[in-house]
Chains A and B, each alone.
Chain A
């Protein structure tokens, strides 16, 4: 069964600084990968997803993520963080074949300071 690890529970960055949130997965083949964001008081929203092809995927709100098979990682990045990016971010992995549930990581809470 697949699993997801988000090693950082909390991250604090200054506004305007770059951001990288880590995500490592465990799966026997190339999985489907997702990043979701949960802003304060909001539901979870899909930021981006990787299914196949180009390993660098672009998402909404200026986010991107890179799939690295050799490292079993799918880290989320943003070149310049805005105060409105303060939220909780969840990485998720899904199986490309068969009916298997999507597995979510426990999340990384991002704090943005002025």
Chain B
């Protein structure tokens, strides 16, 4: 597609349930990022994928959070046993990944509300 696509755009879930968020990067982009943005706060890095390299998971806040990406395609961010503090907008970005091509393009985000 023309841009980074995230689905769903909004998700309301009950505390304790698992949720799966999806990101379709721009075709050909080898790098993919997940960020979390809590209400009124800045970007919080979660995880970074670059091609077939091992992902940089240094930002994942707990073992309830995990993400997968197959090759250079779709990524899913999974949050298990959701808590109210997980409520946030989850942003995905992709880039061509190297040198002059490190500019990141963002999706519109998934707004997650845990009730």
Interface residues of chain A, those whose CB is within 8 Å of chain B, are: 6, 32, 34, 36, 43-46, 49, 51, 88, 90, 92, 94-107, 109
B15-53 CB mask vs A (1 if < 8 Å, else 0) is 000000000000000110101000011110100101101
Residues of chain A within 8 A (CB-CB) of B106 are: 36, 43-45
Residues of chain B within 8 A (CB-CB) of A104 are: 35, 42-43, 45
Residues of chain A within 8 A (CB-CB) of B41 are: 106-107
Flag if A101 contacts B48 (CB, 8 Å).
yes
Interface residues of chain B, those whose CB is within 8 Å of chain A, are: 30-31, 33, 35, 40-43, 45, 48, 50-51, 53, 56, 91, 93, 95, 97-100, 102-104, 106-109
Flag if B108 contacts A46 (CB, 8 Å).
no
Residues of chain A within 8 A (CB-CB) of B103 are: 34, 46, 49, 94, 102
Residues of chain B within 8 A (CB-CB) of A105 are: 42
Residues of chain A within 8 A (CB-CB) of B102 are: 32, 94-95, 100, 102
Residues of chain A within 8 A (CB-CB) of B107 are: 43
Q: Which of B35, B42, B93, B100 gathers the greatest number of chain A CB atoms within 10 Å? A: B42
Q: In the assembly, what is the distance between CA of A106 and CA of B56, in Å?
A: 19
Residues of chain B within 8 A (CB-CB) of A101 are: 31, 33, 48, 50, 56
Q: In the assembly, what is the distance between CA of A90 and CA of B43, in Å?
A: 8
Partner of A98, one of B56, B91, B98, B108: B98
Residues of chain A within 8 A (CB-CB) of B99 are: 32, 96-97
Q: In the assembly, what is the distance between CA of A44 and CA of B91, in Å?
A: 9
Q: In the assembly, what is the distance between CA of A79 and CA of B102, in Å?
A: 29
Q: In the assembly, what is the distance between CA of A43 and CA of B95, in Å?
A: 16
